[in-house]
Structure 1
């Protein structure tokens, strides 16, 4: 009779394990799905926070620039295409433009490609260079004037 009892016990154990496996597998799938959704939400939150932080920094910079512009009485803006056209019109290199403005050639390159924007103090220097002609620029750079 022990063999019958052992067989019955093993059969019941097998069926119970099968039922438990089916139930836990459904829970594992749901858990995996929830975790992926949570991760996606976390990424989205991080992106939105970064965007808010970026806008906050931009707002602070804009306010600072507006204050300096208001103090001087003029408002200055910077356009990448306009800056590149100015340099081409004056027929000078990025290094020479940097020398005129008191910045590096790399800064001029980054401004022209739109990677960065000049500071308010640099905008004033750019405005001053914009008023110069080819001869005046050549004279400032110490080169012979081109006719």
Structure 2
């Protein structure tokens, strides 16, 4: 015959395990759900970091320079066709327009053909020139000693030089 103390002890242990299980099972389910949520959040953070790295690689140096310099706070509009129209409105050749903004005539040509895009410093200068009149531009060119030549005048002088070369 079993000892009453051991039977009583086993029954108390069984009831205690049953009581604990009732309190622990919901907590286990809750912990499992939280682990799944944490895992999903970690995956989302990793994806966002990958996207951020891709964007950082994709940004051009000009964009980074623009944000670093913070020259005017407002981005400058740019279009090759608009640059050509501005130059033609002012009646300037590429050779005359280039020193006005501190660039080479070849760079102006590339910008107009949209082969390249001007750096922020040139965009700022172009924006300044955009607000000037023909007379103001002529005064600037005279002040800096650069000859004011138009496209038509440039062609005429080239023709005159050819005629003079034939005559000589």
- Name the TM tier (shorter chain): 0.5 to 0.7
Question: Which contiguous aligned blocks of 4+ residues in structure 1 show a shift greater than 6 angstroms?
Answer: none
Shift of 1:59: 3.5
Matched, 1:56 2:61: no
Q: What's the CA shift string for 1:72-93, capped at 9, x where partnerless?
A: 3222121111111100111100
8 Å contact kept, 1:76–1:123: yes
Greater RCO, CA 8 A, separation 6+? 2
SS at 1:118 equivalent: coil
- Local SS of the residue matching 2:116: coil
Question: What's the RMSD between the two structures over aligned residues?
Answer: 2.3
Asked if 1:65 is matched to 2:59, the reply is: no
* Deviation of the 1:63 alpha carbon: 3.1
What pairs up with 1:81-120 in 2 under 5 angstroms? 81-120=81-120
Residues of 2 paired with 1:66 and 1:130: CA distance? 22
TM-score under structure 2 length normalisation: 0.48
Contact 1:66 1:75 in 2 (8 A): no
Q: How many residues align?
A: 90
- Consecutive unaligned residues of structure 2, counting only runs of 5 or more, are 1-53, 149-168
| Alpha-carbon offset, residue 58 of structure 1 | 4.3
Runs of 5+ unmatched residues, structure 1: 1-52
Which structure would you say has the larger Rg? 2
CA offsets 1:15-51 (integer angstroms, 9 cap, x no match) = xxxxxxxxxxxxxxxxxxxxxxxxxxxxxxxxxxxxx
